[in-house]
């Protein structure tokens, strides 16, 4: 049963939540175990530089995903930078525009141009047909993003990569603990990156990793994340500082131990949202393939303004007044952000589905900081907003 909302805040009522409800509130896990690990770190006086917790974290990730190598990094963006540099792509690399801007920035940072490719309207992932049209003689690679934890069309991308001589990599920042055709995401292409940022399903405060079955590539990335040091006073490679610290690995390990309880909460919240929102005209909650392992970390809703009576942006505004900070991920798409907007003003012409989604998608709060009662209340607000769409629009456009 949905709770009754007396009067919407946008129409002069009291906000449904007294504190802001965020998308991306971190999952914390067992505090006592984390604190004990932090004590160990202090006692050992080993704070960073490939310490024992980092090595244990890497080992656990390898076991969970079923890959041979995990190179932990300080965040997912540096993981992308180091992966692409180690693989050796140059010139142009194909990426979706419908992603967090870090996917494109990691390339541009190295003066490699992101070549923005459209996504499927339903899949939200790279469209292989659109991709094939974009490839130029300067293109050397593809980074697929398993958006929201739903896998890219891996075989189709691999087939294009093999036929056109391109390196295939994946940004699996959203897809830790997700599978594709029964195989855990992380083992596809040359390598895949993970993010363990605070807002992710499992977090290490800040953190990331590259996972791969390619031993030589893993070795190169280990050098690159540590200034290229191959031994004392011996540098074999240009490098950066991409190391994960011990305290981050301690949080990462604690987070991994609690993943089943995070998953239970996420799945229950997701199902509750679906149950409520599927009855509201114009709202579609993006589905997950129940035959796969999913982390259910993103509750993604596509809003059809004509049927709902309110646009995505109007619903987001209604929610904001109630202290529910829904996010418009990933608007306007990386191609609409600088420097890409200025560098590639024509990009939007080949991105019709990206632009369509960027106008319609909103992501709602979930995770262990959000209860089922919160979900009921959020859905009740949306239902009432849609039912009172005429009044809401009048108020939002400045009327009384």
DSSP 227: T
Residue 172 CB, nearest approach to ligand T4K (Å): 8
The secondary structure of 340-372 as a DSSP string is HHHH-TTGGGG-HHHHHHHHHEEEE--STTS-H
Return the number of the residue (127 or 206) whose C-beta is nearest ligand T4K.
Answer: 206
Residue 328 contacts ligand T4K per CB under 6 A: no
Closest residue by Cα to residue 295 from 318, 321, 265, 319: 265
Return the number of the residue (326 or 380) whose C-beta is nearest ligand T4K.
Answer: 326
Residue 137 phi, psi (nearest 5): -60, -20
Closest residue by Cα to residue 314 from 400, 399, 390: 390
By beta-carbon distance, which residue lies closest to ligand T4K?
A: 76
The two tokens of residue 297 are 């970390």
Residue 396 contacts ligand T4K per CB under 6 A: no
Instruction: Select from 32-40, 96-104, 161-169, 303-311 the region that touches ligand T4K (CB under 6 A).
Output: 96-104
As a whole number of angstroms, the distance between CA 166 and CA 172 comes to: 19
User: In a 10 Å sphere around its CB, with 0-12 CB exposed, 13-18 middle and 19+ buried, how is residue 120 labelled?
Assistant: middle
Residue 100 CB, nearest approach to ligand T4K (Å): 3
Which sign does the torsion angle of CA 51, 57, 58, 63 carry?
positive
Of 76, 153, 186, 187, the one binding ligand T4K (CB under 6 A) is: 76
86 CB neighbour count, 10 Å cutoff: 25
Residue 170 CB, nearest approach to ligand T4K (Å): 10
Q: How many residues bind ligand T4K (CB under 6 A)?
A: 22
Give alpha helix (H) positions in 21-75.
31-44, 52-65
Q: Which residues pair with 324 in a beta bridge?
A: 21
Return the number of the residue (107 or 308) whose C-beta is nearest ligand T4K.
Answer: 107
As a whole number of angstroms, the distance between CA 400 and CA 398 comes to: 7
Residue 75 contacts ligand T4K per CB under 6 A: yes
Query: Site mask, ligand T4K, residues 179-208, x = CB under 6 A?
Result: ----------------x-xxx--------x
Q: How far is CA 208 from CA 203, 204, 363, in A?
A: 9, 8, 22
Return the number of the residue (97 or 226) whose C-beta is nearest ligand T4K.
Answer: 97
* Beta strand ranges found along 44-112 (DSSP E): 69-73, 92-96
Of 145, 161, 184, 347, the one binding ligand T4K (CB under 6 A) is: 145
Of 5, 27, 29, 77, the one binding ligand T4K (CB under 6 A) is: 77
Closest residue by Cα to residue 87 from 172, 155, 189, 164: 189
Site for ligand T4K in 254-283 (CB under 6 A): none
Query: Site mask, ligand T4K, residues 11-50, x = CB under 6 A?
Result: -----------xxxxx------------------------
Residue 15 CB, nearest approach to ligand T4K (Å): 17
Instruction: Select from 72-80, 88-96, 112-120, 246-254 the region that touches ligand T4K (CB under 6 A).
Output: 72-80
Return the number of the residue (62 or 325) whose C-beta is nearest ligand T4K.
Answer: 325
Binding residues vs ligand T4K (CB under 6 A): 22-26, 75-77, 99-100, 102-103, 145, 171, 173-174, 195, 197-199, 208, 325
């Amino acid at each position: 049963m949905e709770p009754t909302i007396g009067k919407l805040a946008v129409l002069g009522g009291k906000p449904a939540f007294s504190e802001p409800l965020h998308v991306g509130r971190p999952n914390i896990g067992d505090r006592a175990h984390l604190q004990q690990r932090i004590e160990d770190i202090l006692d050992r006086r080993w704070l960073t530089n490939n310490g024992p917790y980092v090595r244990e974290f890497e080992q656990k990730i390898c076991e969970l995903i079923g890959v041979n190598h995990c190179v932990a990094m300080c965040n997912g963006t540096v993981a992308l930078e180091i992966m692409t540099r180690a693989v050796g792509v140059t010139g142009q690399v194909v990426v979706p525009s419908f992603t967090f801007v870090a996917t494109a920035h990691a390339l541009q940072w190295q003066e490699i141009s992101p070549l923005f490719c459209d996504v499927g309207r339903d899949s939200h992932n790279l469209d292989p047909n659109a991709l094939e049209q974009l490839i130029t003689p300067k293109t050397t690679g593809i980074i697929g993003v398993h958006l929201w934890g739903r896998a890219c069309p891996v075989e189709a991308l691999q087939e294009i990569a093999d036929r056109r001589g391109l390196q295939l990599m994946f940004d699996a920042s959203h897809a830790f603990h997700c599978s594709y055709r029964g195989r855990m995401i992380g083992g596809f292409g040359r390598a895949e990156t993970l993010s363990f940022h605070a807002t992710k399903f499992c977090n290490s405060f800040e953190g990331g990793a590259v996972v791969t079955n390619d031993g030589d590539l893993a070795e190169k990335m280990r050098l690159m994340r540590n200034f290229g040091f191959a031994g004392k006073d011996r540098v074999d490679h240009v490098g950066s500082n991409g190391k994960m610290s011990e305290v981050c690995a301690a949080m990462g390990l604690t987070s991994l131990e609690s993943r089943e309880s995070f998953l239970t909460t996420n799945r229950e919240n997701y199902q509750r949202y679906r149950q409520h929102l599927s009855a509201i005209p114009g709202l579609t909650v993006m589905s997950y393939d129940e035959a796969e392992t999913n982390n259910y970390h993103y509750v993604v809703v596509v809003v059809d303004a004509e049927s709902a009576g309110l646009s995505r942006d109007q619903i987001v505004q209604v929610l904001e007044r109630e202290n529910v900070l829904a996010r418009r991920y990933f608007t306007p798409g990386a191609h609409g952000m600088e420097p890409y907007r200025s560098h590639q003003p024509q990009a939007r012409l080949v991105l019709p589905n990206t632009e369509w989604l960027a106008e319609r998608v909103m992501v709602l709060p979930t995770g262990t900081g959000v209860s089922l009662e919160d979900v009921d209340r959020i859905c009740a607000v949306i239902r009432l907003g849609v039912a009172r769409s005429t009044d809401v629009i009048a108020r939002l456009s400045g009327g009384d």
